[in-house]
């Protein structure tokens, strides 16, 4: 029976993995190796600012080992959702790192860059044609939202990867992709039906996450036309039915219906079997092709500039009346910032109260329990960084020094752990595009560019 | 009565995209899954109450193949926006831990 083997090196490029796990994986003769670069999970900042989610140093370490191993074995090396968000700055940064490594290691290869940033004019056209819908429960996409977005990426399916491999790419750096897409590409190209190919991608998207105990390591999938087998290559890890089932639920709204470009993976009747002590086999998945080829798009808009401060109290009198204290503080803050020209309606202030409802907000069922100490994280978003910093200075001062009934701690109400006390966080963003667009074909939105790396040496 | 914290092998929350939260409860055996399923305690209405959302906003799916239940519902705030407290949505599972399952 036909078998395609693929090695997922790490959950996200830059998270790291033991070199021995990669070496053990290469001995199992994978047909491709790869790592995901990110997703929307770390929030809107990285897509908005064009910064990488993992450090350049950590990504370069992981990628160096992958390039050397992949080129030596003559198998493709694939990085999807490059740089954490898959935008153009992320792709260019990863390309720069690849060129650096090639120079340092004296490597020569054909590199494919698959772009995923989307043209706002095209998205607007699709909106006007009624061929865009919300991916979840967001409002319908408008021209205003598209114009407000600082960057929009599309999530490519496997087809652009297949084309790049067909055209001889040995290393692929791709923009934003659905997490399973690069793996589905390698398997489908190797003759595996879409159901098993996509399922293998679901399992490979996060390194050895489907294995226990939790450690960074690599995961090998053996994919055949009837099943997917999973084996971690870190010898201290193993896949169990529970560890694989746990990962099968990862990040999807439904455990059964997984919407992907070109169709839906149905996992309702999957069977999980322990094949050896360390290997689990999953079978019974079904692929249901869709009528229209659709692409999810993600975009973020800038909401201003952010500053935060952290402080904490150990005073039982203050903690007893903390709700009233924070409300009163907000009135004082508004009055003081207005005095230097920034009115309360010109910024957003949020104070998270740890020890009460810091993690869950108004969903916290135990918010009336009285703790012995509390921590506060105050956040301000204003039009400029200067304004955010100025308002934050007043917020910190007010939390530290305001009066309250029965106050004994008259030198200050808060323990402030750092000097400087306030932290600039730069531009603030929020997701404002999370929609599904009908594409004419799987390729048009994702141009492929080729480079011969190391040719001039 | 036994609480879910004493019965489940996995009880976790995570983003399902930047606007939704997904909560999973997994049991170590089909027998345990069947026992909990038979009580009917875990359902969309329970998650709606615990997470203060409308029942129609909860996608509740039992998944016997993995001895699991999954509920997906809107996040309190979109991931990473002002007032969000949990960018990854990884610490929103606690209310489920204390649900009583009749013996």
A242 and B61: CB-CB below 8 Å? no
Report cis status (omega within 30 of 0) of the bond before A418: no
Q: Whole-prediction pTM value?
A: 0.96
User: Is any Cβ of chain B less than 8 angstroms from the Cβ of A134?
Assistant: no
Domains of chain A: 4-116+155-293+439-453 (no CATH), 303-430 (3.30.70.600)
Q: How many domains does chain B have?
A: 1
- A363 contacts B92? CB cut-off 8 A: yes
Listing from the earlier edge strand, what are the strands of the sheet with A263-266? A257-260, A263-266, A286-289
Give the neighbor-by-neighbor strand order of the sheet with A4-8. Answer: A271-274, A280-283, A227-232, A219-223, A4-8, A32-36, A77-80, A171-174, A109-114, A448-453
Give the integer Cα–Cα distance in Å for A321 and A13: 47
Residue B22, pLDDT above cutoff 70 = yes
Give the SS3 label for residue B28. Answer: coil
Backbone dihedral angles phi then psi of residue A389, each to the nearest 5 degrees: -65, -40
**Is the confidence at residue A113, as pLDDT, over 90?**
yes
Helix (H, G, I), strand (E, B) or coil at A297: strand
CB contact under 8 A, A251 and B59: no
What is the count of residue pairs from A and B with beta carbons less than 8 Å apart? 140
B15 interface with A at CB cutoff 8 Å: yes
Report the distance separating Cα B48 and Cα B23, nearest Å.
Answer: 12
Q: Residue A91 — very low, low, confident or very high, per pLDDT cuts 50/70/90? A: very high
* Nearest residue, CB atoms, B17 vs list A40, A256, A303: A40
Q: CA-to-CA distance for A320 and A293, rounded, in angstroms?
A: 57
CB-based contact (8 Å) between A267 and chain B? yes
| Residue B23 pLDDT > 70 | yes
Crossing angle of the two packed helices A56-73 and A88-105, in degrees rounded to 10: 60
Q: Per residue, what are the HEC states of A43-99?
A: CCHHHHHCCCCCCHHHHHHHHHHHHHHHHHHCCCEEEECHHHCCCHHHHHHHHHHHH
B28–A contact, CB cutoff 8 A:
yes
Inspect the interface and report whether the beta carbons of B92 and A272 lie closer than 8 Å. no
The Cα–Cα gap between A58 and A407 comes to 49
SS3 (DSSP) at A210: coil
In the DSSP assignment, the letter for residue A150 is E
pLDDT tens for A360-404 read: 999 999 999 999 999 999 999 999 999 999 999 999 999 999 999
Please state the φ and ψ torsions of residue A251, each to the nearest 5 degrees.
65, 5
Predicted confidence at residue A457, as pLDDT, reads 66
Q: Are A173 and A96 in contact (CB under 8 A)?
A: no
Which among A40, A45, A363 is the nearest to B76, CB-wise? A363
Q: How confident is the model at residue B1 (pLDDT cuts 50, 70, 90)?
A: confident
pLDDT at B100: 96
Cβ–Cβ gap A42/B87 under 8 Å: yes
Q: Does A327 touch chain B (CB under 8 A)?
A: no
The band of A412, judged by pLDDT with boundaries at 50, 70 and 90, is very high
Cβ of B76 and A138 within 8 Å?
no
State what percent of residues in chain A have pLDDT above 70.
100
pLDDT, residue A121, reads: 97
- Nearest chain B residue (CA) to A428: B81
Cα(A239)–Cα(A276) distance, rounded to whole angstroms? 9
A216 pLDDT above the threshold of 90 = no
- Please check whether residue B25 is in contact with residue B69, taking contact to mean a CB–CB distance below 8 angstroms: yes
Would you list the DSSP string of A364-386? Answer: -TTTTS--S-EEEEEEEEESSHH
Mutation site for A-interface testing, chosen from B81, B89, B95, B98 by largest number of A Cβ within 10 Å: B81
B27 touches chain A (CB under 8 A): no
Mean pLDDT of A331-354: 97
Name the minimum distance, in Å, from the CA of B81 to any CA of chain A: 5
Pairing label, strands A263-266, A257-260: antiparallel
CB contact under 8 A, A250 and B14: yes
Percent of chain A whose predicted confidence (pLDDT) is above 90: 97
Q: State whether residue A262 is helix, strand or coil.
A: coil
CB-based contact B4:B10 (threshold 8 Å): no
pLDDT of B103: 83
Average pLDDT over residues B47-64: 98
| Each residue's pLDDT tens digit, B71-83 | 999 999 999 999 9
Contacts of A138 in chain B (CB under 8 A): 19
Which residue among A136, A246, A350 sits closest to B10, beta carbon to beta carbon? A246
Domain that holds residue B76: 2-101
Task: Write out pLDDT tens, residues A289-311.
Answer: 999 999 999 999 999 999 999 99
Checking if the pLDDT of A456 tops 90, the result is no
Please tell me the distance in Å from B39's CA to the nearest CA on chain A.
21
Q: In angstroms, what separates the C-alpha of B103 from chain A's closest C-alpha?
A: 24
Tell me whether A358 touches chain B (CB under 8 Å).
yes
Whether residue A29 has pLDDT greater than 90: yes
Q: Considering CB atoms only, which of A246, A255, A352 is closest to B85?
A: A352
């Amino acid at each position: 029976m036909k078998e395609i083997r693929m090695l997922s090196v790490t959950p996200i490029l830059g998270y790291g993995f033991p070199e021995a796990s990669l070496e053990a994986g290469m001995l199992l003769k994978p047909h491709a190796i790869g790592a995901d670069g990110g997703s929307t999970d770390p929030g809107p900042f990285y897509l908005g600012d064009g910064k990488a989610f993992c450090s350049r140093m950590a990504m370069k370490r992981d990628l160096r080992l992958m390039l050397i191993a992949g080129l030596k074995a003559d198998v493709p090396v694939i990085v999807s959702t490059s740089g954490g968000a898959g935008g153009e700055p992320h792709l260019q940064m990863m390309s720069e790192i690849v060129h650096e490594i090639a120079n340092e290691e004296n490597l020569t290869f054909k590199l494919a860059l698959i772009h995923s940033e989307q043209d706002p004019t095209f998205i607007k056209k699709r909106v006007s044609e009624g061929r865009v819908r919300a991916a979840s429960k967001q409002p319908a996409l408008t021209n205003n939202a598209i114009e407000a977005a600082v960057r929009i990426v599309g999530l490519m399916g496997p087809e652009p990867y297949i084309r790049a491999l067909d055209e001889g790419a040995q290393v692929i750096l791709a923009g934003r992709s659905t997490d399973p897409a690069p793996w589905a590409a390698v398997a489908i190209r190797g003759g595996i039906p879409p159901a098993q190919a996509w399922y293998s991608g679901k399992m490979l998207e996060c390194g050895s996450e489907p294995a226990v105990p939790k450690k960074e390591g690599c995961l090998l999938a053996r994919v055949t036309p009837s099943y997917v087998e999973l084996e971690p290559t870190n010898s201290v890890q193993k896949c169990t039915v529970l560890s694989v089932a746990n990962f099968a639920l990862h990040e999807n709204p439904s455990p059964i219906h997984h919407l992907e470009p070109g169709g839906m993976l149905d996992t309702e009747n999957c069977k999980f079997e322990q094949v050896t002590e360390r290997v689990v086999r999953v079978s019974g998945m079904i692929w249901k092709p869709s009528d229209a080829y659709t692409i999810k798009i993600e975009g973020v808009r800038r909401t201003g500039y952010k500053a935060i401060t952290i402080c904490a109290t150990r005073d039982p009198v203050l903690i007893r009346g903390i709700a009233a204290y924070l409300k009163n503080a907000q009135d004082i803050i508004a009055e003081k910032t207005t005095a230097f020209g920034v009115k309360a309606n010109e910024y957003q202030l949020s104070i998270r109260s740890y020890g009460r409802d810091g993690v869950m907000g108004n969903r916290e069922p135990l918010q009336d329990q009285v703790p012995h100490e509390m921590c506060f994280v105050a956040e301000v978003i204003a039009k400029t960084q200067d304004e955010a910093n100025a308002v934050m200075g007043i917020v910190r001062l007010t939390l530290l020094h305001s009066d309250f009934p029965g106050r004994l701690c008259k030198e200050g109400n808060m323990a402030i752990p750092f000097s400087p006390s306030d932290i600039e966080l730069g531009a603030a963003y929020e997701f404002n595009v999370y929609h599904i667009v009908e594409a004419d074909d799987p390729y048009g939105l994702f141009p492929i560019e080729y480079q011969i790396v190391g040719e001039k040496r | 009565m036994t609480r879910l914290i004493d019965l489940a092998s996995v009880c976790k929350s995570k983003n399902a995209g930047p606007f939704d939260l997904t909560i999973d409860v997994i049991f170590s055996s089909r027998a345990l899954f069947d026992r909990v399923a038979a009580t009917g305690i875990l359902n969309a209405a329970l998650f709606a109450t615990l997470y203060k959302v409308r029942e129609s906003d909860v996608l509740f799916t039992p998944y016997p193949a993995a001895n699991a239940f999954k509920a997906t519902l809107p996040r309190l705030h979109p991931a990473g926006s002002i007032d969000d407290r949990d960018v990854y949505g990884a610490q929103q599972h606690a209310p489920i831990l204390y649900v009583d399952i009749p013996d």
